Amino acid sequence: MRVHRRVRAALFTASALVLTTASTGPALAVAGGADTAEGALPFVARLDMGDSQRSCSGVLVSPQLVLTAASCFAGADGVATTGAPPLTTTVTVGRTVPSGGAGGAVSGVGQVIRHPQRDLALARLEKAVTTVAPVAIAPSAPAAGDELILAGFGRTGTEWVPNRLKSAAFTVDTVTATGLAVTPTGSGGICKGDAGGPALRRSGDAYQLVGLHWKSNQAGCLGEATGAPLVTEARVDDVQDWVRANLPGFATGFEAADARANWVSAADTGANGHGGVTGVGGIISTVAGPELATRAEQAHSGTTALMYSGKDTSATRSYAYMKAFSLRNLTIRPSSTLSYWIFPQSVASNSNVTGANSTCVAVDLSFTDGTNLRDSGATDQNGNRAHPQHQCAKLTRDTWNEVIVPLGAVANGKTVDTLAVAYDQAAGTGGYRGYVDDLALSDVLAANHFGSGLETGETALGFTSTADSGTSPHGGLLNVGGIIGSVTGPELATRTERAYTGTTALMYSGKDNNSTKSYAYMKAFAPGSVFVRPGTRLTYRVFPQSVSSNSNVTGGNSSCVALDLIFLDQPTGAQANLRDTAVAVDRKGVRAHPGAQCGKLTLDTWNEITVDLGSAFNGKQITLIDVGYDQAAGTGGYRGYIDDIRITDSGVAASVAASLAAS
- Residues 591-635: tens digit of each pLDDT: 999 999 999 999 999 999 999 999 999 999 999 999 999 999 899
Please check whether residues 215 and 292 belong to one and the same domain. no
Q: Is residue 328 part of a domain?
A: yes
Q: What is the mean pLDDT of the chain?
A: 90
Please check whether residues 437 and 454 belong to one and the same domain. no
Please check whether residues 436 and 494 belong to one and the same domain. no
Please check whether residues 365 and 435 belong to one and the same domain. yes
Report the CATH number that the domain containing residue 642 is assigned in CATH.
Answer: 2.60.120.260
Share of the chain above pLDDT 90, in %: 77
Res 2: pLDDT: 26
Q: Quick check: helix, strand or coil at residue 298?
A: coil
194 lies in which domain range? 5-245
Tally of structural domains, the chain: 3
Domain finish residue from 446, 471, 505: 446
Please check whether residues 440 and 527 belong to one and the same domain. no
Q: Is residue 659 part of a domain?
A: no
The confidence band for 657, taking pLDDT boundaries of 50, 70 and 90, is very low
Res 656: pLDDT: 42
Please check whether residues 466 and 418 belong to one and the same domain. no
Assess contact for 60 and 132: CB atoms under 8 A.
Answer: yes
Please check whether residues 225 and 316 belong to one and the same domain. no
Rg (CA), the chain: 28
Residues 6+ apart with CB under 8 A from 133: 42, 43
The confidence band for 272, taking pLDDT boundaries of 50, 70 and 90, is confident
Q: What is the pLDDT of residues 275-333, one digit of tens each?
A: 999 999 999 999 999 999 999 999 999 999 999 999 999 999 999 999 999 999 999 99
Q: What is the pLDDT of residues 83-124, one digit of tens each?
A: 889 888 999 999 888 877 678 899 999 899 999 999 999 999
Please check whether residues 366 and 478 belong to one and the same domain. no
Res 638: pLDDT: 98
Instruction: Give the H/E segment covering residue 5.
Output: helix 5-8
Give the burial string for 376-391 (b: 16+ CB within 10 Å, else e): bebbbeeebbbbbbbb
Angle, CA of 580, 584 and 585, to the nearest 5°: 115
Arithmetic mean of pLDDT, 330-342: 97
**Is it the case that residue 362 has pLDDT exceeding 60?**
yes
Q: Is residue 470 part of a domain?
A: yes
DSSP state of 254: -
* Cα 164 from chain centre: 29
Q: Is residue 29 part of a domain?
A: yes
Report the CATH number that the domain containing residue 81 is assigned in CATH.
Answer: 2.40.10.120
Domain finish residue from 446, 471, 506: 446
Percentage helix, strand, coil for the chain under 3-state DSSP, each rounded to 5: 5, 40, 55
Res 159: pLDDT: 66
Res 277: pLDDT: 97
DSSP state of 249: -
DSSP state of 10: T
Please check whether residues 91 and 112 belong to one and the same domain. yes
Domain finish residue from 389, 417, 446: 446
DSSP state of 465: S
Assess contact for 112 and 73: CB atoms under 8 A.
Answer: yes
Q: What is the pLDDT of residues 131-179, one digit of tens each?
A: 999 999 999 999 999 999 999 887 765 666 677 888 889 999 999 999 9
DSSP state of 195: T
Assess contact for 336 and 405: CB atoms under 8 A.
Answer: no
